[in-house]
Amino acid sequence: MRTTDDALLPPADHAQSPRRVHAEVFGCQMNKLDAQIGLEALLRAGCVRAENIADADTVVFFTCAVRQHAEDRFFSNLGTYERWKARGPGRLVAVAGCVAIQLLVQHANIDYISGPLERWLAINAGHRLHHLRYPGQGDVNFGLFTLLWDRAMGTYTPADTRAVVTSDDLGIAGRPDYPTTLTGQLADPFRPFTAMQAN
């Protein structure tokens, strides 16, 4: 499923480039502009544009995290591309746009100082409490961008409620073996799909 307007994307004119890049857009007009700018940069770097997934060895998702329907479509399609990636050595899947920023800001295992904003914005200091592996304790701080609804609904918990949250405190349903190091987490999406199914 390709939603990017052809008119917005540059033509493939670098016939000898090593990477064949296909863009998928899940979002708004701004994401289409992101796709245009991103693909122009990739073409200048020597890639060629692939008109469809069958001709590509690289897929770049340009995503929206503001429109829930667009984000839902992105995540529902991700499994298809995970299987596509597993079937071809050297294939790459990249995520750009709002979802990538959201994942970085909310789910980074790196502490950063945000002052009083951490009590209002859904950044990692507060959001990581949502991922506690202990029953009942992770049912807090659900907010996507802000913690306003959590405050209104009584699910807000200040980040400083727990003095220290370590990797051992966090968990992912169905993946007790999920890597706890930053490098391991960065590498995990690139593991073969069959290996992830085995776990």
**Domain containing residue 130:** 110-165
Indicate whether 98 and 153 sit together in one domain.
Answer: no
* Domains held by the chain: number: 2
Alpha helix (H) residue ranges in the chain: 29-44, 68-86, 98-107, 124-127, 148-153, 182-187, 193-198
Contact, 22 vs 50, CB < 8 A?
yes
What is the per-residue pLDDT for 78?
A: 78
- Residue 53 within any structural domain of the chain: yes
Output the pLDDT for position 123: 80
Task: Report whether pLDDT(174) > 50.
Answer: yes
Phi-psi region of 97 (alpha: psi -120 to 50; beta: other; left: phi over 0): left
List pLDDT tens digits, range 114-132: 778 778 888 877 888 888 8
Written as six digits, the tokens of 162 are 């727990």
Res 70 pLDDT > 70:
yes
C-beta neighbour count of 181 within 10 angstroms: 10
Is the Cβ–Cβ distance between 6 and 27 less than 8 Å?
no
CB 126, CB 159: distance < 8 Å: yes
Mean pLDDT of 142-157: 88
For 6, phi and psi rounded to 5 degrees?
A: -60, -35
pLDDT, tens digit, 9 for 90 and up, residues 26-68: 888 888 888 889 889 988 988 999 998 888 999 998 888 777 7
pLDDT at position 182, please? 67
Say if residue 197's pLDDT is above 70: no
pTM of the complete model? 0.53
With respect to residue 48, please indicate whether it lies within any of the assigned structural domains. Answer: yes
Q: What does the pLDDT average to over 165-172?
A: 71
Output the six-digit token pair for 45. Answer: 């770097």
Of residues 129 and 167, more confidence is placed in 129
Here the tokens at position 36 are 């245009």
Say yes or no: 74 and 120 in one domain.
Answer: no
How does the average pLDDT of the chain come out, rounded?
Answer: 76
Same domain, 138 and 64: no
**Residue 187, both tokens:** 């590498």
The pLDDT of residue 31 is 82
Cα(29)–Cα(20) distance, integer angstroms: 24
Q: What is the CA radius of gyration of the chain?
A: 19
Specify the pLDDT at position 57. Answer: 92
